[in-house]
Amino acid sequence: MIVLQRVQKKLGTHPVLRHIDMEVKQGDCFAIVGPNGAGKTTLLKICACIHRVDAGNVYWNGQDVYKQLTQYKKSIGWISHQHFLYESFTPVENLRFYSELYGIKNREETIQRWLRVVDLYVFKDIPVRNFSKGMKQRLSLARALLHEPNLLLLDEPFTGLDQDGIQLLFRLLREEREKQTAIMMVTHDFSHIEKISNKVAFLHKGKIAVESMQTKEEHVREIYNTLVDER
């Protein structure tokens, strides 16, 4: 379980996150919504320890993340706008690199399995620089999941995926929830939220303005519009 307590973060002189309290339990898929510039990516970067908090704390299973940084980072699967793939490497070489980094056992078998799951097996020996955006995103899914993380931090993870890719990601996320992985997912597409999330947080003016267990698209849109109109 990840817990954020009174988290504050400035970027430059701009206070992006003013006071964030949040708790994401194992098996939760917590959607985070908010307009452009609201601080959603910043929030995920704090959870991934890419940014340090200015004040407040982030706990993972009851302990400050910075007191268990190496172990904690191995627990995270991270998907963002950057795919973190080596362009000159093939999919097999990319996944080999990450599986060595994470100390995965049965490496070759795991890599082959993931390449089939994300439907890139036939492209396994082609350098990633030749890949389309969606193909890179599929490989990123494999990169983010192959070490069996307990916490998924997903920043607009559906970006670039075709219809099959979107269905694949839903299936993978459902499986992750069944395995009790905790998921934080930023999205601008409210229709995705009710399909996979059990909670939604609305980030507004540096705070979680509303937190709801009602994840139906119309409900999310209504709250979102009310908050944005108040700007």
Ligand X SMILES: Nc1ncnc2c1ncn2[C@@H]1O[C@H](COP(=O)(O)OP(=O)(O)OP(=O)(O)O)[C@@H](O)[C@H]1O
Alpha-carbon gap, residue 127 to 87, rounded angstroms: 6
14 binds, among Mg ion, ligand X, none (CB under 5 to 8 A by kind): ligand X
Shortest CB 224 distance to ligand X, Å:
12
Looking only at residues 35 through 54 of this chain, which bind Mg ion when binding is defined by CB under 5 A? 40-41
Q: Which residue is nearest to Mg ion (CB)?
A: 41
43 contacts: CB under 8 Å, gap ≥ 6: 4, 7, 17, 20, 32, 186, 203
Q: Is 187 in the site for Mg ion (CB under 5 A)?
A: no
Shortest CB 199 distance to ligand X, Å:
18
Q: Is 197 in the site for Mg ion (CB under 5 A)?
A: no
Beta strand 199-204 with 207-212 is antiparallel
Shortest CB 21 distance to ligand X, Å:
18
Q: Which is nearer to Mg ion, 41 or 197 (CB)?
A: 41
Contact track, Mg ion, 80-119, x by CB under 5 A: ----------------------------------------
Q: Which is nearer to Mg ion, 91 or 206 (CB)?
A: 206
Q: Which is nearer to ligand X, 16 or 144 (CB)?
A: 16
37 binds, among Mg ion, ligand X, none (CB under 5 to 8 A by kind): ligand X
Q: Which is nearer to ligand X, 42 or 197 (CB)?
A: 42
The pair of structure tokens assigned to 34 is 């908010």
Closest CA to 90 of 114, 115, 125: 125
Q: Which is nearer to ligand X, 45 or 177 (CB)?
A: 45
Chain contacts with ligand X (rule: CB under 6 A): 11-12, 14, 16, 34, 36-42
- List the beta strands (DSSP E) in the chain: 2-11, 14-24, 29-33, 55-60, 63-64, 76-79, 151-155, 182-186, 199-204, 207-212
Three-state SS annotation for 126-139: CCHHHCCHHHHHHH
DSSP characters for 92-143?
HHHHHHHHHHTT-SSHHHHHHHHHHHTT-GGGTTS-GGG--HHHHHHHHHHH
Where do contacts with Mg ion occur on this chain (CB under 5 A)? 40-41
